[in-house]
Structure 1
Amino acid sequence: FANFNDVASCVLLLSLSWRTSEALPVPAPSPGTGGQCADFYKMLLLNISKALDSIYLSDGIQSEKIEMRNTGETVLACAPTLTQNLGCVTQRNSSFSESECLKNIKKDLLYYHEAIASYLTGPLKNGPEEIRLLSPIVEITKNLTEVCLSCNFFFKIETLRLQVWGNESYNNRLEMNKMMKGFHIRAITINRAIGYISSGDHRK
């Protein structure tokens, strides 16, 4: 576990080191990264932020801890070659791999899709409100994995080590609160990565 603000700051520092193309022709976006798919990634981050701002997921919870999905390597796989060390970022020596980045993004999205969908089938203290907040995230992650990234990679769900929910709504909500904070940070990384891929900088 880590402090939410510290990890978020680290991710934002990483994003500032990523180059953006300026005054150059922008190539056609890679499959699954442009058009409506680009909007889905932005909507995902907005809906996660909305859920975290709601009192219904934090009702009675004082914890500032976050839980990051540690079986993926999205941050490393989606980081372009860095020109400087920012303290919390490990400099990469290898070139950027678009396919490896998208593969890890899809793996993350599948994990969170299944975890949140299964959470909604369990005991909920604020049932209608939690369903209203989290159902759009389930739908967006479904669209991203089944439409935008459908042809990129295939994974067996059982290999993702999914979150297992218990029978106590408070404990489940506590774990969901920590998981959503981690998902928020991961969604920032994903949006930055999709923007980088769409810019075409990695093809120069």
Structure 2
Amino acid sequence: SLLLSSIFFLSSDVSPVLLLLGFISPLWQVSHALPVTSKGPMGDNCVSRAETLLRNVTEKLMDAEIFNGIDCLKQSVELNMETNTDSVCTPKGSTCAGISKSEFNQESCMTSIGEDLHHYYKFLAAYPDPNGLLKALLSNLRELLMKCLSWSLQTEQAAPVSLSPFDERLKLCKVMRGFQVRGITINRAIAYMHSGEHTK
């Protein structure tokens, strides 16, 4: 697989279109912090769901209705700093900063991916969206979490409004940019696990 030696970090200056074209690849499923029951290659249905999720996130970043008056592509990236998906999901045999990774722990990778996706689900579910502009993205994310990671999701309540509508949209832009970058990392990890190379 051409993705086995891929680097998991991307520049925040690369446009969503190029990221989408360059990194969407066969995906797999991700998992929650529940016990992992399989350490082999992953199913195609979850591959498709994860691929659709990354595409949806990328498309939303270019949605003029959501980000009217904001040049979202020039905003900073706000990543979820509570997980370490980029490091725990690095393929075995990869070399970073002169250090070669000799093992790959699928359970740790899947758990971190699930925590990342749940983080973004909670943020988006609580975001004020009276026109339903994020509805399809949330539905895709919910399906991936529930059907591929066995997460039990509850309805998220919107947080009290503390930002102006403009600042809310600016915050959404930054979080979505982080979601896209992390989504590409997840894509590559999923492709790696889907290939079955991690079991060899």
Asked if Structure 1 and Structure 2 have the same fold, meaning a TM-score greater than 0.5 normalized by the shorter chain, the answer is yes
Q: Does 1:38 align with 2:47?
A: yes
Shift of 1:61: 1.8
Contact 1:119/1:165 (<8 A) preserved = no
Q: Does 1:194 align with 2:190?
A: yes
Q: Distance in 1 between matches of 2:127 and 2:87?
A: 28
**Partner in structure 2 of residue 172 of structure 1:** 168
- SS of equivalent residue, structure 1 residue 55: coil
Q: Distance in 1 between matches of 2:179 and 2:12?
A: 11
Structure richer in helix, relative to its length: 1
**Partner in structure 1 of residue 150 of structure 2:** 150
Note closer, same or farther for the CA distance 1:5–1:189 as it changes in structure 2 (3 Å cut).
same
Shift of 1:96: 0.6
Which of 68, 82, 85 aligns to 1:59? It is: 68
Deviation digits for residues 22-50 of structure 1 (CA, Å, limit 9, x no counterpart): xxxxxxx8689422111100000110011
**Partner in structure 2 of residue 22 of structure 1:** none
Identity of aligned residues (%): 28
Shift of 1:74: 0.7
Q: Distance in 1 between matches of 2:121 and 2:184?
A: 16
- SS of equivalent residue, structure 2 residue 173: helix
Q: Distance in 1 between matches of 2:83 and 2:167?
A: 25
Shift of 1:145: 1.5
Q: Distance in 2 between matches of 1:110 and 1:165?
A: 22
Amino acid in structure 2 at the alignment position of 1:48: V
**Partner in structure 1 of residue 92 of structure 2:** 81
Deviation digits for residues 93-123 of structure 1 (CA, Å, limit 9, x no counterpart): 35111110110111011110110010035xx
Shift of 1:164: 7.8
Q: Which consecutive residues of structure 1, in runs of 5 or more, have no partner in the other structure? A: 16-28, 122-126, 157-162
Q: Distance in 1 between matches of 2:39 and 2:52?
A: 19
Contact 1:48/1:184 (<8 A) preserved = yes
Report the more deviating stretch, 56-65 or 103-112: 56-65
TM-score, length basis structure 1 = 0.70
RMSD over aligned CA atoms reads 3.5
- SS of equivalent residue, structure 1 residue 190: helix
Q: Distance in 2 between matches of 1:165 and 1:30?
A: 43
Which of 4, 12, 18 aligns to 1:4? It is: 12
Q: Distance in 1 between matches of 2:98 and 2:165?
A: 38
TM-score, length basis structure 2 = 0.71
Note closer, same or farther for the CA distance 1:165–1:191 as it changes in structure 2 (3 Å cut).
farther
Q: Which consecutive residues of structure 2, in runs of 5 or more, have no partner in the other structure? A: 1-9, 24-37
**Partner in structure 1 of residue 141 of structure 2:** 141
**Partner in structure 2 of residue 110 of structure 1:** 118
